[in-house]
Structure 1
């Protein structure tokens, strides 16, 4: 029996990080509740965040307290996340993808290592095929333009074989100054790169989304189907509520404060 399509939704207003965590948790619970009847949907959310630094599970409480005070002072939010990895930045100009997939749908079930490797190859193939941007191999998870420049990060969480969190890829120059305020992912000798810088021309996040949807379907061997929130029940209601919150949040800082 063929697998059902992955439903995808593209947000166009940068989203508050904490509220987006709640949306992921809502989808996770909906998937758990309807899994026995196989009526649950796999979902891919594509979006940008408002400026936020997030920590993974590898930081100590002392490190978190120091960084929280420093980074909120320059105008970003700071959130402790349940994903793997260390401190990183999300914000406008960066495409974030949250695949919420049931890894047990396939036979045999997809392993976590395979899931992450496909995600990394998906980003690599998109950059090469769409923008002629090549990557270099690295011992670290993520996608690197050279040994000292990282363009995309991956940090996932898997519970009950259901995935949350995902990947982030820098598109415009806007995230780079924010990244310059931290040692992202614990890599002191690595700076952030982006598509616009690598190509030497401007690129919009909205223009990147369709290609990522296509690459995702190819690498995960799934059909992709656009999600229409007004027709998607509880899932759609949660998406529409988050879009309203994003609009109500208003403008955001375009660069770190000099404080």
Structure 2
């Protein structure tokens, strides 16, 4: 996903990141959702948030069937599996509008899509806030995640456990987000050069010996978001969100 140059300015307080301040975040946990459908939800929600048709920020926490996504700057040579192998393994390939290179999503991986309207913040500050959320959630299961100079995401040694790739709209509304490897099939990562980084690896909580479910980690991510962003999370449903944006989705 996105790789950012180190910032020379101190990180801003993430509690001042959202235009809505400390207002509650609506959280949607729909289970396993095909990537193209979830991407459509993101775009519709983000447009509605920018237009004012949706008054709340939203966080979507879910899993995807196996998929490789290619960012705007992706190098197709970092996609290593041929078409026959992709079909045999049931892995979809989807070009997307986030920054960064190629990444993988699949069962056993917790994916988070915060749809937040930001104010007065640089993208790097938002990315650092997402990293902090992942680091705190990992600490709750005894894993010391860390930042790595010159890269985004959260690492355990030289292996990435949490990837981050984001997009900011003209209305300063975020889409895409983070992916935390809980217990995915790590063999699926062999079909790509993850995030275009050839000299580092990928790990998961399961490969680190931590037995925890995706739902367990979603609970911990919610708690960490409450701490880092200074806002409570309120469960919501897709039915309650989509009617409010029907006029911009048509």
Is the CA contact (8 Å cut-off) linking 1:68 and 1:78 kept in structure 2?
no
- Structure 1 unaligned runs (5+)? 238-259
1:175 has 2:185 as partner: yes
Q: Distance in 2 between matches of 1:65 and 1:180?
A: 9
Could you say which residue in structure 1 is the equivalent of 2:125?
Answer: 114
Could you say which residue in structure 2 is the equivalent of 1:59?
Answer: 74
Could you say which residue in structure 1 is the equivalent of 2:233?
Answer: 224
SS of the aligned residue for 2:176 comes to strand
TM-score (norm 2): 0.82
Aligned Cα RMSD in Å? 2.3
Report deviation, 1:32: 2.3
Could you say which residue in structure 1 is the equivalent of 2:23?
Answer: 4
Which of 132, 135, 158 is residue 124 of structure 1 equivalent to?
135
Could you say which residue in structure 2 is the equivalent of 1:100?
Answer: 115
1:69 has 2:83 as partner: yes
Q: Distance in 2 between matches of 1:133 and 1:59?
A: 30
Q: Distance in 2 between matches of 1:64 and 1:182?
A: 5
User: Which protein, 1 or 2, shows the higher relative CO under an 8 Å CA cutoff with sep ≥ 6?
Assistant: 2
Which of 150, 164, 167 is residue 157 of structure 1 equivalent to?
167
SS of the aligned residue for 1:58 comes to coil
Could you say which residue in structure 1 is the equivalent of 2:10?
Answer: none
Could you say which residue in structure 1 is the equivalent of 2:243?
Answer: 234
- Structure 2 unaligned runs (5+)? 1-19
Report deviation, 1:33: 2.4
Is the CA contact (8 Å cut-off) linking 1:24 and 1:164 kept in structure 2?
yes
- Matched length: 224
Looking at secondary structure, tell me which structure has more helix per residue: 1
CA offsets 1:52-109 (integer angstroms, 9 cap, x no match): 001112125x6489867366333200000111111110000000000000002xxxx2
Relative distance call for 1:114 and 1:136 in structure 2 (3 A) is: closer
Which of 30, 35, 40 is residue 22 of structure 1 equivalent to?
40
1:215 has 2:224 as partner: yes
TM-score (norm 1): 0.79
Which of 181, 197, 200 is residue 187 of structure 1 equivalent to?
197
